[in-house]
A and B are shown apart, each in its own frame.
Chain A
């Protein structure tokens, strides 16, 4: 099972490879990818360097072109595909049907992976992508339980990749317009959720308030840790009851599912976090490498170490982790 790590810049990419990633995924420096943040991602020169570094070490590079192409602006997405292919990417991660069509027609020999943003959750949808674009991998959204992933892995004609660790989208990816509803910008159109430019922090006599485009997302008392106001992770009111109505600030962590995922034939575990620092990438890559190697050495006696869990919890939102939808009770 491949360990696939994120990189938002060259130092993070080198760190990922040096700490045990089998493959790294990156995005270009524009709105063609779903982590379109200032100061992040790769221009043409850096892209070539990234490919060289990865390939010289016998590892793989995936390029995410996973937002939806704008009407009248499709050339930008097509050019992103051209550029990624030109530097010798091992795989293109694509969500948009039109971009997939372009890549499949123009570069039939370059691997195409269905992005998590395409929200592919069942066998018929997988068949759609196989039949139309001859894709070689599908990245599953974080909405399926372990049982559902197992069922799908058994019947899927294409290898599957799952999310293993990192910030948790609780909505079916690519089908969430909450961010554009509140700010005008969404992962699908702009490549960002709850963009930082709309965030305001304010100290008030009621507590520290976080707002997104003016809407109160959360209010913290002195003894509470304040987190980034991702709009689905705030506290809201439903019939006078104030709570995390959608989700708490928490991250996905599936270390304990390693034996299950390997047994069901999942080909790759993906770490979320292209927007995170090289230090984050280092710790997550190292911890997951250790866990995967430990399993390979002695599959029958695999136990998740407390130290691994602590390391990962410290890198998580709200310092807590969850199995998310993999665990039915979470749902």
Chain B
């Protein structure tokens, strides 16, 4: 089983992004995803900068570098940037919208179907495989039981070897995308005049209930889980059902520690009690996502 470092979902200054990926180079990750997936107004790094960073990260390592792309694309300008990233000629691409699937298919290039592509069943897997999918990220709201059934079906259908299966395993879960920017709203700004204020919140803005419960994290137009998802105790189960890759989200430098912890868990499995007011694993266990089973 391999481990990946998912794309950072937050908006960080360019220098910090570069420092982060310097660290990532020597981390325990086998696969490194990078790129902007949330908001096209975030331009600390432009398409060419992300590609340059990808080259820098890929240099002198045997890690696979993947370019992650935007989830909610609403304008022709955004599609232009997407095409440029898809047609990079060097790196594998993670599609987070069907527009990217279409573009990769036109280019006759393989792609990763990211967590925002709604692939819930065998027929959909087949559709995406026909388009060129080589790796599938399970939608975050699905459970271990759902995955087990689907992977068994894929085996029975003789297509299991045609793709790798990756599971989001640690970090704030990407839960929703909107036209509205909630970070700008939290500062009483309109999206068109946002002043890129999400750069002030390197781990998003907490949105709590009036009883102080961490409900969600506001990250621009994206809503993240209030708790960090943690499947460390489920690693043996993931492995036994044939999951190929566990994804650790690039929330902060804590992700590097988690990569070590998760790797260790495969070698020496132990049970780590989760912190019920900061962590969750409900989705995997088919209960409310924010719960701990």
Please tell me if the beta carbons of A98 and B290 are within 8 angstroms of each other in the complex: no
Complex Cα–Cα for A239 and B216 (A): 13
Please tell me if the beta carbons of B153 and A71 are within 8 angstroms of each other in the complex: yes
For chain A, what secondary structure do more than half of its interface residues adopt (helix, strand, loop), or is it mixed? Answer: mixed
Q: Which of the four size classes fits the interface of chain B?
A: 35 or more
Complex Cα–Cα for A237 and B206 (A): 8
Q: Is B278 an interface residue (CB 8 A)?
A: no
Please tell me if the beta carbons of B123 and A69 are within 8 angstroms of each other in the complex: yes
Please tell me if the beta carbons of A71 and B146 are within 8 angstroms of each other in the complex: yes
Q: Is B192 an interface residue (CB 8 A)?
A: yes
A117-139 with Cβ < 8 A to chain B: 118-125, 127-129, 131-132
Q: Is A99 an interface residue (CB 8 A)?
A: yes
Q: Is A184 an interface residue (CB 8 A)?
A: yes
Contacts of B99 in A (CB 8 A): 122-125, 128
Contacts of A176 in B (CB 8 A): 175-177
Q: Is B199 an interface residue (CB 8 A)?
A: no
Contact with A along B220-263 (1 / 0, CB 8 A): 00010100000000000000000000000000000000000000
Q: Is B210 an interface residue (CB 8 A)?
A: yes
Contact with A along B190-214 (1 / 0, CB 8 A): 1110000000000001111111110
Q: Is B64 an interface residue (CB 8 A)?
A: no
Contacts of A145 in B (CB 8 A): 74, 179
For chain B, what secondary structure do more than half of its interface residues adopt (helix, strand, loop), or is it mixed? Answer: mixed
Q: Is B119 an interface residue (CB 8 A)?
A: yes
Please tell me if the beta carbons of A96 and B179 are within 8 angstroms of each other in the complex: no
Please tell me if the beta carbons of A71 and B120 are within 8 angstroms of each other in the complex: yes
Contacts of A132 in B (CB 8 A): 127, 131
Please tell me if the beta carbons of B209 and A174 are within 8 angstroms of each other in the complex: no
Q: Is A246 an interface residue (CB 8 A)?
A: yes
Q: Is B128 an interface residue (CB 8 A)?
A: yes
CB distance from B183 to the nearest CB of A (A): 9
Segment from B11-19, B25-33, B266-274, B281-289 that makes contact with A: B281-289
Can you list 6 pairs linking A and B with CB atoms under 8 Å apart? A70-B146, A99-B123, A128-B99, A143-B178, A172-B179, A184-B287
Seen from chain B, the residues whose Cβ lies within 8 Å of a Cβ on chain A are 71-76, 78-79, 82, 97-103, 105, 116, 118-128, 131, 139-142, 146-147, 149-150, 153, 173, 175-182, 185-186, 190-192, 205-213, 215-216, 218, 223, 225, 282-283, 286-290
Top 9 nearest A-B pairs (CB, nearest first) are A98-B123, A124-B99, A181-B289, A325-B179, A143-B179, A68-B120, A71-B150, A128-B102, A98-B124
